Amino acid sequence: MYLWAPKKINMSKVVIIGAGGVGRVVAYKCAQLKDVFTEIVLASRTVSKCEAIAQDIKKDLGVVIATDRVDADHVNEVVALFKKHQPRLVINVALPYQDLTIMDACLEAGVNYLDTANYEPIDEAKFEYSWQWAYQDRFKAAGLTAVLGCGFDPGVTGVYTAYAAKHYFDEIHYLDIVDCNAGDHGKAFATNFNPEINIREVTQKGKYFEDGKWVLTEPHAIGKMINYPNVGPRKSYLIYHEELESLVKNYPSLKRARFWMTFGDEYLTHLRVIQNIGMAAIEPVMYEGREIVPLQFLKAVLPDPGGLGENYEGETSIGCRIKGVRDGQEKTYYIYNNCKHQDAYKETRAQGVSYTTGVPAAIGAKMMLTGEWTGAGVYNVEEMNPDPFLADLNQYGLPWHELVDVDLEMD
């Protein structure tokens, strides 16, 4: 049981931890939904980032949000933040390294939890849900809900799969999640979210699920052309992405599940150079008498993803391509969203990748606060009802489209 519980909780109060590009979008979307999020607190290690976002929201929307400081590496600081503000829910858009400390604080302070990316240890480039799934019994005993991976991928891709399973299939057999960023930010090399997390993710070995087992590949060893709506054919590479782990678990009829992402030739060339000269390393090295982590230093000199939006052109296209059976007949289904970077910037002053992650986080929080998503314990998004979430996704900035019984190029 948790050690502290407030005497009175404002049922519509939310704390957002993280003031990067995604945190900006989450704060904007929550501020737009004033009937649900009547009080919003944005907290980060760097209060000035929170204050800049708060000022923009006040100017653009006329909504005042509170700001505060917290170092989410430390459970006691997060608990103190929760005791001070007494939220019903925390939206964690901080670093994945901090997921467990924030979950620990939720248990101690009696706060529900939602995040957009699963935990990974800071000293190992590895991400999996086992660490967070291990909190199941404690959240259940405390009567609290934790929703994991409520961004776009993971997040919307899981909801898309749940929607397909609910409305179109008796069994899902094949799943390809396809992610294209056809935008141009004008930089020689930049990542669309935290450079440290992004580079750790895309330089790992590829992995996909087939015939009951996981198959490992070398990074970017498998590629093919995929035709994306309103974008056209783009070279896409098989990589591992965390939602595959939960989707395979929750849809045991799957015979194969893969994740594809587009990378331009110039991006991959930069990435190879970064790796070859050791700048992608996460082990500390000695420099002028002190330890530094090369990848963290690289992060400091690369463009800030939160500052890419103003000159970003083009759009993203992300969706799920699914094959399975319905009434004994083979069926195909494709559900996707396209998001223009320019539209995202006009609304929130953030680029499209931040937007496509932040909007679903805000909607997931809305689902929890309004009682559409309930249940004590730890859940991935595909375990929740997809219908109200997708209705809100259409209404609040990320409209989705579907194609039924078409050739999906899933060989």
Closest CA to 365 of 160, 116, 6: 116
300: amino acid identity, one letter? A
Range 144-167 average pLDDT: 98
Cα–Cα distance between 113 and 129 in angstroms, integer? 15
Closest CA to 263 of 238, 295, 240: 238
pLDDT reported for residue 194: 67
Look-up of token digits 């019994």: 137
pLDDT, greater one: 244 or 308: 244
- The neighbour count for residue 2, using CB atoms within 10 Å, is 18
Cα–Cα distance between 55 and 51 in angstroms, integer? 6
Q: Is-contact 19 25, C-beta < 8 A?
A: no
Q: Is-contact 257 382, C-beta < 8 A?
A: no
What would the pLDDT profile of 379-388 be if each residue is shown by its tens digit? 999 999 999 9
pLDDT reported for residue 309: 63
**E strand residue ranges, 159-264:** 171-181, 206-210, 213-217, 223-228, 232-239, 256-262
Q: Are strands 223-228 and 66-69 parallel, antiparallel or unpaired?
A: unpaired
Q: Mind listing the domains of the chain with CATH numbers?
A: 156-348+397-404 (3.30.360.10)
83: amino acid identity, one letter? K
Cα–Cα distance between 256 and 254 in angstroms, integer? 6
pLDDT reported for residue 197: 66
Greatest C-alpha distance within the chain? 68
List % helix, strand, coil for the chain (3-state, nearest 5): 40, 25, 35
- Considering only 32-36, 132-136, 217-221, 361-365, which range has the smallest mean pLDDT? 217-221
Q: In the predicted model, is pLDDT for residue 5 greater than 50?
A: no
What would the pLDDT profile of 245-304 be if each residue is shown by its tens digit? 999 999 999 999 999 999 877 777 777 777 777 777 778 888 888 888 877 887 787 777
342: amino acid identity, one letter? Q
Could you tell me the pLDDT band of residue 310, with boundaries at 50, 70 and 90?
Answer: confident
Closest CA to 172 of 388, 396, 410, 331: 331
| Token duo for residue 267 | 């991006």
Cα–Cα distance between 282 and 200 in angstroms, integer? 9
List residues bridging with 324 in a β-sheet.
Answer: 172, 331
Range 389-393 average pLDDT: 98
What lies within 8 Å, CB to CB, of 79 at 6+ separation is: 4, 105, 108, 109
What lies within 8 Å, CB to CB, of 52 at 6+ separation is: none
Per-residue CA distances from 22 to 17, 28, 108, 181, 222 (Å): 10, 10, 26, 16, 30
| Cα-based angle 111, 116, 121 (whole degrees, multiple of 5) | 90
| Token duo for residue 58 | 């006040």
Cα–Cα distance between 271 and 275 in angstroms, integer? 6
What DSSP line would sit under 90-120, residue for residue? EEE-S-GGGHHHHHHHHHHHT-EEEESS---
- Report the run of H or E that residue 319 belongs to, with start and end: strand 315-326
- The per-residue pLDDT of the chain, averaged, comes to 91
